[in-house]
């Protein structure tokens, strides 16, 4: 190195050489300095070890799809700062069918029913018709839920309702919902129920 | 997904596109959550903060001018929220006054066995000043450039380099102490 100042400059850049974020010029400068000064190379190796060790630490389980479902529910009550020409969010009541209707009636009978959107109304997506209403099994893992949703290109657009219902919507607006619902019904390890509104 | 892709998502989110928000969430949720949880060490609070970050993005997307990278913008939001938590809880930090005289010999790290590395490193990171720890975590957990770290933490680039320089020295000092290793100066 030509001076201590230059060496200090290289030492400052070394962590960013290790994480690969330097510009091409800076990278060339650091590599030229390391070629002349083995202690800089050693320093880089040490920093690389620290970085590797840090990145190998477990991440902890993030909220995943459940967090996304919560987010989708919360944004219904969080207006955007600049909204021009956006369709107004509408809310609608889910229509229930088959076993779900029966389950709902049972809830009414045992006294938990009240005519309130908090109980059985889910906030809608912009496309009310492109939805499948499901209930996940109690023992389903977040990982298997996420995997299934991604495999079928589905997103949770609403839920959970008070009785644990979620509404799923396909990313492809042209998807055949009836066929998709049929496919999902075969996923008995994941879903307790699958219904079309 | 590169920054141009992320900016396209933000633009769509700004028009109320929820599918774009889903895509952004799936792209950024894990790194943001990791960053927040490393700081707070509280999974439930971290999930709440993560939620707030995405709500801020949802509400502010239309006003995002794209002058910074999306990743930088989102980490800035998360960083400010974490700082707020620390301020509200008045969390104490320790060991900003470790002696500065130390050698930078890499042999200290080399002597740490693989099984012990993570524990020692975690313990030593916990002893750093928040500013120093933030800088080195952004550099090594998130692989951010010094320019990005400067933007996220709102300090000059030179300050970022100085913080990482000191963080590195203090980390080594701590690791040497924990391993009871004498390193020649």
Residue of chain A whose alpha carbon sits nearest to that of B53 = A71
Mean pLDDT, residues A99-124: 36
Say yes or no: B156 contacts chain A, CB-CB below 8 A. Answer: no
Residue of chain A whose alpha carbon sits nearest to that of B63 = A82
Q: Residue A5: which pLDDT band, with cuts at 50, 70 and 90?
A: low
Per-residue model confidence (pLDDT) at position A58: 72
- The order of strands in the sheet holding A165-170 is A154-158, A165-170, A132-136, A191-195
Contacts of A12 in chain B (CB under 8 A): 161-162, 164-165
Per-residue model confidence (pLDDT) at position A165: 77
Q: List, for chain B, all residue ranges whose pLDDT scores fall below the cut of 70.
A: 90-117, 179-185
Question: Would you call A72 exposed, middle or buried from its count of C-beta atoms within 10 A (0-12, 13-18, 19+)?
Answer: buried
Asked whether the beta carbons of residue B122 and residue A57 sit closer than 8 angstroms, the reply is yes
**Dist CA B70 CA B99 (whole Å):** 38
For A178, the token pair is 């009836």
Residue of chain B whose alpha carbon sits nearest to that of A173 = B19
Long-range CB contacts (within 8 A, 24+) of B92-100: B93/B129, B93/B130, B94/B127, B95/B127, B95/B128, B95/B129, B95/B170, B95/B174, B96/B129, B98/B127, B98/B170, B98/B173, B98/B174, B99/B173, B100/B166, B100/B169
Say yes or no: B106 contacts chain A, CB-CB below 8 A. Answer: yes
Per-residue model confidence (pLDDT) at position A46: 83
Higher model confidence: residue B72 or residue A105?
B72
The span from the first CA to the last CA of chain A, in angstroms, equals: 73
**Dist CA B1 CA B19 (whole Å):** 16
For A50, the token pair is 């620290």
| CA distance, residue B116 to nearest chain A CA (Å) | 10
Judge whether residue A2 has pLDDT over 50: yes
Say yes or no: B23 contacts chain A, CB-CB below 8 A. Answer: no
Name all domains of chain B by residue range, CATH numbers in brackets.
3-89 (1.10.1740.10), 107-179 (1.10.10.10)
Asked whether the beta carbons of residue A80 and residue B47 sit closer than 8 angstroms, the reply is no
């Amino acid at each position: 190195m030509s001076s201590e100042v230059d060496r200090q400059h290289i030492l400052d850049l070394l962590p960013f050489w290790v994480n690969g974020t330097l510009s091409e010029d800076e990278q060339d400068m650091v590599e030229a300095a390391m070629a002349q000064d083995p202690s800089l190379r050693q320093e880089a190796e040490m920093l690389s070890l620290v970085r590797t060790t840090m990145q190998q630490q477990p991440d902890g389980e993030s909220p995943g799809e459940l967090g996304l479902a919560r987010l989708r529910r919360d944004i219904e009550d969080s207006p955007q700062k600049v909204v021009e020409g956006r369709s107004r969010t509408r809310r609608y009541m889910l229509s229930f069918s088959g076993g779900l209707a029966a389950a709902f009636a049972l809830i009414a009978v045992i006294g938990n029913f009240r005519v309130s959107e908090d109980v059985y109304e889910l906030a809608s997506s912009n496309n009310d018709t492109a939805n499948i209403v499901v209930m996940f099994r109690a023992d389903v893992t977040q990982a298997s839920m996420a995997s299934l949703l991604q495999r079928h290109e589905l997103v949770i657009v609403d839920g959970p309702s008070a009785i644990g219902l979620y509404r799923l919507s396909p990313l492809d607006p042209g998807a055949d919902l009836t066929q998709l619902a049929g496919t999902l019904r075969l996923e008995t390890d994941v879903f307790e129920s699958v219904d079309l509104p | 997904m590169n920054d141009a892709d992320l900016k396209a998502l933000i633009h769509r989110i700004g028009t109320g596109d929820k599918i774009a928000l889903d895509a952004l969430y799936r792209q950024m949720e894990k790194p943001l959550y990791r960053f927040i949880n490393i700081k707070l060490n509280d999974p439930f609070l971290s999930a709440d903060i993560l939620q707030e970050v995405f709500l801020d993005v949802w509400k502010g997307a239309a006003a995002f001018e794209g002058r910074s990278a999306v990743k930088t913008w989102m980490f800035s939001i998360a960083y400010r929220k974490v700082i707020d938590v620390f301020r509200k809880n008045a969390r104490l930090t320790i060991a900003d006054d470790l002696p500065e005289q130390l050698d930078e010999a890499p042999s200290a790290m080399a002597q740490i066995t693989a099984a012990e590395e993570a524990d020692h490193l975690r313990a030593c990171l916990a002893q750093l000043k928040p500013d120093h720890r933030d800088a080195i975590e952004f550099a090594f957990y998130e692989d951010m450039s010094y320019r990005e770290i400067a933007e996220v933490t709102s300090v000059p680039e030179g300050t970022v380099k100085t913080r990482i320089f000191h963080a590195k020295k203090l980390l080594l000092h701590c690791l040497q102490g924990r391993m009871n290793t004498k390193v020649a100066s």
